[in-house]
Amino acid sequence: MADARRRSPGLRRSLCCSFAASTQSPDRPSHDCPHPRRRPSKPPPKTPCPGSFHSSPSPTSRLGLGIIDRRRILSPGRVSPIDSDAPLGPLPEISDSVSIASVVAESEPERPDPVSKDRSLASENPDAEKRGCFGESGSELKLSLKGKDGRCLVLELEPGILSESSALLAAMLSKSGRQVPDASGDSCKIELSGLENVDVFKETIELMYAKDAARWLIKGGVSRAIDILEVSSTIMFDRGMKSCLRYIEAVPWSENEEEKLKSLFARCKFDEAISEDMLARLGPQGRNNPEDLAVRLIQSATNGTNTKARKEMQSLVSGLLSKSSVYHKDPAGLDKERLYDICHSCLNSLVHLFEEASDRGIVGRTETKPLIERVSKQVENLNWLLEILMEKEMAEDFVHVWANQVELIKMHGRASPMMRYELSRISASVFIALGRRKLQCHGDERFAVLRSWFEPMLRDFGWLQRCSKGLDMRMLEENLGQALLTLPLKQQQSFFEEWFRCFAEHGTGCPNLSKAFQVWWRRLFWRSQKHADEFNT
């Protein structure tokens, strides 16, 4: 039996062909196979046909060089091997006159072929040149572009279009002498070195040869067009500058693109005839007063009738006028007189609304909803104006204005709680600002505003708790007490005695000023004890 197996080795191979690598596969070299008929190590080249299958060897693959990929194995029952190489599609046709002939630099170097060592290798030098061809195939000029980073790009150009497009390059071409050929004997060469961006310069040259400049710029975008505009200005490429300015002016900009344009116009000068529209879009041509515009916007916001839209506009204007805003550059501030004119207008509207409620005979009972909404609107306007005045450090006069609203104070006592408590929302804003040291005004002004609006605050505190509308009641209690403690002790005594009677009667319906009351009490008896000690001594 052993002799039979030795005499028929082919039987063993037929049984194991599905589980082991073929004797002629790359995993088992042909010289290890005992079979007498050995396949040649290098198959004869085959002429590729257009209708070849996916597994057919590609002309550019390494099969033609005698190197067999280990991934290619013989599948059982198949005649042709499985080819892992992807088919090569047809080369794209060149539709434009601008094209790049070949790229040699910045490519990964090929590994040397172990079979054919005479093949040409790609350059491993990182500073190797790129070559591009623009214009006609019979180019007579080579333009060498060298960047500061060491990159080099050589463009083969048709010199006629180049000379017509750029005055600077035309002068360089004339100076170098086109009649003097280079070492190859068929073209001359000019060189531009120390370039910031070689790619942008190359694209500017491409724009010279582009048939449709507008379509070409659209593909690159605004940021790229700004870069090309700067290079066009450097080489005096007038047609390129006009095309770039026309395209940039016609499309929207991002903030980064706008800042980039402003920087470019600060460094470069362009003809006013072609840059007039761009300059008009970048900034106003005549004198402009942004503070006057801001006051008009404030006036418009206070006159708004839509509650939601008015609040959104007020928030927008507050952000623009804030000290931390990037748009606020003028330290002079807003016109104080015009701001207080708007404040007086809102206060007059409040007086008219309370008079309207009195004339209609509904004082002391529930007012109609539209009237209350109009009162709430004017209160919100005044609180917003107070915030702007405090931001601009002009709110001291507002304390005096609010302390002297005699008519509103009189009508407050006769109006219904649903309407009158809105006035205490303004008083709450003033008291909080005084307690938080955002308002620094004279002691007489502090006493006047507390004397006028402290008693109404005690009466309306319960309504403010039920309808706070964003008001922090704990902050109000704390800062109201702090505002009282800024007065002389004798004046403090009258206010704290009034609060004590109210709190004893209404409880939580009255602000809790016990902490400030204790401070006043300690200060009062410290002074009394001090005088007593001085008298005894």
Which tokens hold the place of 170? 């035309």
CA nearest 82: which of 50, 117, 56? 56
Question: Is 499 exposed, middle or buried (CB count within 10 Å of its CB: 0-12, 13-18, 19+)?
Answer: buried
* Contact in structure between 157 and 135 (CB atoms under 8 Å): yes
* Contact in structure between 402 and 453 (CB atoms under 8 Å): yes
Can you say how many angstroms the Cα of residue 70 is from the centroid of all Cα atoms in its chain? Answer: 52
In this prediction, residue 14 carries a pLDDT of 40
* Strands 152-157 vs 188-195: parallel, antiparallel or unpaired: unpaired
* Contact in structure between 320 and 327 (CB atoms under 8 Å): yes
Q: Kindly report the pTM of this predicted structure.
A: 0.63
How is residue 508 annotated by DSSP? G
Q: Each residue's pLDDT tens digit in the chain (537 positions)?
A: 444 444 444 434 443 333 444 444 444 444 444 444 445 445 555 444 444 444 444 444 443 444 444 444 444 444 444 444 444 444 344 334 333 333 333 333 344 443 333 333 233 333 434 555 555 444 578 888 999 888 999 888 888 888 889 998 888 888 876 544 444 555 678 888 889 899 999 999 999 999 999 999 999 999 999 999 999 999 999 999 999 999 999 999 999 999 999 999 999 888 887 788 888 888 776 666 777 888 999 999 999 989 999 999 999 999 888 876 655 555 456 889 999 999 999 999 999 999 988 776 655 455 567 889 999 999 999 999 999 999 988 999 999 999 999 999 999 988 888 899 999 999 999 999 999 999 888 999 999 999 999 999 999 999 999 998 989 999 999 999 999 999 999 999 999 999 999 999 989 889 999 999 999 999 888 766 655 556 566
Measured in degrees and rounded to the nearest 5, phi and psi for residue 433 equal -65, -40
CA angle 344, 346, 350 (to 5 degrees): 110
Q: Would you tell me the crossing angle of helices 222-234 and 238-249 to the nearest 10 degrees?
A: 150
CA angle 432, 388, 453 (to 5 degrees): 35
In this prediction, residue 7 carries a pLDDT of 45
Residue type, 146: K
Strand partners, 144: 154, 191
In this prediction, residue 285 carries a pLDDT of 64
Ramachandran region of residue 214, left (φ > 0), alpha (ψ -120 to 50) or beta? alpha
Q: What is the DSSP string of 426-441?
A: HHHHHHHHHHTT----
In this prediction, residue 106 carries a pLDDT of 37
Q: How far apart are CA 174 and CA 520, in angstroms?
A: 94
* Contact in structure between 333 and 394 (CB atoms under 8 Å): yes
Q: How far apart are CA 300 and CA 316, in angstroms?
A: 13
How is residue 324 annotated by DSSP? T
Please compute, for residue 139, the number of CA atoms within 13 A of its CA located in the half-sphere on the CB side.
24
* Contact in structure between 108 and 222 (CB atoms under 8 Å): no
Residue type, 194: G
3-state secondary structure at position 191: strand
In this prediction, residue 328 carries a pLDDT of 53
Q: How far apart are CA 21 and CA 76, in angstroms?
A: 10
Question: Is 201 exposed, middle or buried (CB count within 10 Å of its CB: 0-12, 13-18, 19+)?
Answer: buried
* Strands 129-134 vs 98-102: parallel, antiparallel or unpaired: antiparallel
* Contact in structure between 489 and 524 (CB atoms under 8 Å): yes
Which tokens hold the place of 426? 């303004």
Q: How far apart are CA 476 and CA 479, in angstroms?
A: 5
Measured in degrees and rounded to the nearest 5, phi and psi for residue 144 equal -100, 120
Residue type, 370: P
In this prediction, residue 332 carries a pLDDT of 53
In this prediction, residue 464 carries a pLDDT of 94
Buried b (16+ CB within 10 A) or exposed e, 322-357: eeeeeebeeeeebeeeebbebbeebbebbeebbeeb
State the distance between the two ends of the chain, measured CA to CA, in whole angstroms.
Answer: 138
Which tokens hold the place of 204? 């500017």
Buried b (16+ CB within 10 A) or exposed e, 143-158: bebbbeeebbbbbbbb
